[in-house]
Chains A and B, each alone.
Chain A
Amino acid sequence: TQLLEQSPQFLSIQEGENLTVYCNSSSVFSSLQWYRQEPGEGPVLLVTVVTGGEVKKLKRLTFQFGDARKDSSLHITAAQPGDTGLYLCAGANMYSGGGADGLTFGKGTHLIIQP
């Protein structure tokens, strides 16, 4: 069974601060995704990283895939109250038949940005 461990589980910081969320596994994934979920809604995809060492930026959010494709990080610069939410990482593997496979999710990081 593949597991993804996210840390920290909970994080509350002041507006304007920087933060990093980690997603670690002992397993290799074909790709890794980051989702953001707000209360009462389903997760929404933020980014997909595929290549080991890949870095992607989405405004103030920077995502990195580890060289060995076992871990990832999300760094937020100058956090805003609108960044508040549950951040989930999810690993994907290619189904042998070439089809989409189910995702393995971490338990998430509950992030609160206080004004």
Chain B
Amino acid sequence: DAGVIQSPRHEVTEMGQEVTLRCKPISGHNSLFWYRQTMMRGLELLIYFNNNVPIDDSGMPEDRFSAKMPNASFSTLKIQPSEPRDSAVYFCASSLRSGFGYEQYFGPGTRLTVT
């Protein structure tokens, strides 16, 4: 399996621009998670989906952030408008809902820089 695929790997944009991050989960997985990682705050859960339905978006920092999962094989995280404090590495992870394991498989991340 190719694993979780994220694109782009790097994104540099100017403040005020719209940014869209993309994720393709592992085939057959039914849960998808978006995380953000910074040195100061570590790895934070932004939102997660079960069977394409958003379950908990309490980690989304502001209304400028939105996430969608139109089907089982694709999800987007959008920031509009972007701000310098949004600069971070954004990870997508997927898992197969089962038992207590919650083993999550992470993509390589998208490094976002907002200038």
What residue in chain B is nearest A49 (Cβ atoms)?
A: B100
B56 at the interface (CB under 8 A from A): yes
If A41-B109, A43-B43 touch, does A99 touch B100 (CB 8 Å cutoff)?
Answer: no
Binds A, one of B14-22, B63-71, B80-88, B89-97: B89-97
If A50-B100, A105-B42, A105-B43 touch, does A100 touch B109 (CB 8 Å cutoff)?
Answer: no
Q: Which residues of B have CB within 8 Å of A99?
A: 31, 50-51, 55, 97
Q: Could you list 17 examples of A-B contacts with CB < 8 Å?
A: A33-B102, A42-B106, A42-B107, A44-B106, A45-B103, A88-B42, A94-B100, A97-B50, A99-B55, A99-B97, A100-B97, A101-B102, A102-B48, A102-B56, A104-B45, A105-B42, A108-B43
Interface centre among B4, B100, B101, B108 (most CB of A within 10 A): B100
Complex CA–CA separation, A97 to B44 (angstroms): 22
Contact B103 A33 (CB under 8 A): yes
Complex CA–CA separation, A50 to B102 (angstroms): 11
B8 at the interface (CB under 8 A from A): no
Instruction: Report the contact-size class of chain B (Cβ under 8 Å from the partner).
Output: 20 to 34
Q: Which residues of A have CB within 8 Å of B4?
A: 42
Chain A residues proximal to chain B, CB less than 8 Å: 30-31, 33, 40-45, 48, 50, 88, 92, 94-95, 97-108
Contact B50 A42 (CB under 8 A): no
Interface centre among B33, B96, B101 (most CB of A within 10 A): B101
Complex CA–CA separation, A45 to B107 (angstroms): 12
Contact B100 A103 (CB under 8 A): no
Contact A92 B108 (CB under 8 A): no
Complex CA–CA separation, A88 to B37 (angstroms): 12
Contact A102 B45 (CB under 8 A): yes
Q: Which residues of chain B (56-80) have a CB below 8 Å from chain A? A: 56, 59
C-beta contact mask, B99-115 vs A, less than 8 Å → 1, else 0?
A: 01111111111000000
Complex CA–CA separation, A50 to B43 (angstroms): 22
Q: Which residues of A have CB within 8 Å of B45?
A: 102-105
Q: Which residues of B have CB within 8 Å of A92?
A: 100, 102
